[in-house]
Structure 1
């Protein structure tokens, strides 16, 4: 899998982070997957472990999906994925930031990288759900311009998974690819 395959740069940025596309089975994903499972189980109980096994590796692989990590000094500090929801919609999944790196805008950057890559792949909409016991995720998606598809005044516990959507603009020819803008 190359940067051109995913529309995702693999070069280090001025902030010392490198964005890399990976497979779910990549050992670099281990910390993310363990932390996500631990967090889900803490918030929702043992049944949450089922969510981590719900999608096979292929769901997050090109051409229909993407899993990326933000690395600092070779270690995963944030990550996330999208999968094909329908012909024009990518579904965000597994948005994660290592506990020692939170409150630095890394999850927002992951979401932006995934949106950009999804748009390059031809998706025009992003859909996601987050759990009712994840107020920081709810805040992230609202701040990132997502439209809640639920009554924000209602008690989240009465809703269940909280759905959001965001419409993506068309990508100019060459954007997101080597030599593009």
Structure 2
């Protein structure tokens, strides 16, 4: 397997990281850029680089060094609304490491890259010492997303089975593995 370089994003990585993230929301999600959902993509410095307990990782391709994948972690739990109140209460901000933007360019998928990125995010969360849980949500319409996250964690709410929630996403808790 070709070896990818995974590192915390720096200023020189931000354009490439934005490109991976924006391409994903347009191609895989079909939503395009939605400011209330994707503001962190436009300003990753404020979302992930400046806050002490947040991180944005990038994976660089072995042949050329361009950013081909991203993964982020922040200390914001799921907000209510739009998420159900019980999730916001179970995963409060400050105590919850939320995984975000785990995106891999299609031509670099199926090489274990997302799993490596998640492992590094979990190590970051454990080293912080103040996170008590790791949470994420995913859109099951994205090819491969649901089985990938099921292989790493447990479903805490599948909105497809709870019509009152209305978003159709799946919420997961991932063991931190301290």
TM-score, normalised by the number of residues in structure 1: 0.71
Structure 1 counterpart of 2:175: 167
Higher mean C-alpha displacement, 77-86 vs 110-119:
77-86
Q: Structure 2 unaligned runs (5+)? A: 77-92
Q: Residues 134, 70 of structure 1: CA spacing in aligned structure 2 closer, same or farther, 3 A cutoff?
A: same
Q: Residues 44, 72 of structure 1: CA spacing in aligned structure 2 closer, same or farther, 3 A cutoff?
A: closer
Report the Cα offset of residue 129 of structure 1: 1.1
SS of the equivalent of 1:149 reads strand
Contact 1:59/1:84, CA 8 A, preserved across alignment: no
SS of the equivalent of 1:160 reads coil
Q: Structure 1 unaligned runs (5+)? A: 1-13, 171-181
Count of aligned pairs: 154
Q: Residues 34, 52 of structure 1: CA spacing in aligned structure 2 closer, same or farther, 3 A cutoff?
A: farther
**Aligned equivalents of 2:70 and 2:33: distance in 1?**
23
Q: Residues 37, 50 of structure 1: CA spacing in aligned structure 2 closer, same or farther, 3 A cutoff?
A: farther
Structure 2 counterpart of 1:101: 108
Structure 2 counterpart of 1:41: 26
Structure 2 counterpart of 1:60: 48
**Aligned equivalents of 1:169 and 1:104: distance in 2?**
23
Contact 1:41/1:49, CA 8 A, preserved across alignment: no
Contact 1:124/1:169, CA 8 A, preserved across alignment: no
Contact 1:131/1:161, CA 8 A, preserved across alignment: yes
Report the Cα offset of residue 97 of structure 1: 0.8
Aligned-pair Cα RMSD in Å? 2.8
CA deviations on 1:94-148 (whole Å, 9 max, x unpaired) are 111122111111111111110111110112311111123224122111112x111
CA deviations on 1:6-34 (whole Å, 9 max, x unpaired) are xxxxxxxx9522221114xx342323322
SS of the equivalent of 2:47 reads helix
TM-score, normalised by the number of residues in structure 2: 0.72
Structure 2 counterpart of 1:174: none
Q: Residues 155, 89 of structure 1: CA spacing in aligned structure 2 closer, same or farther, 3 A cutoff?
A: closer
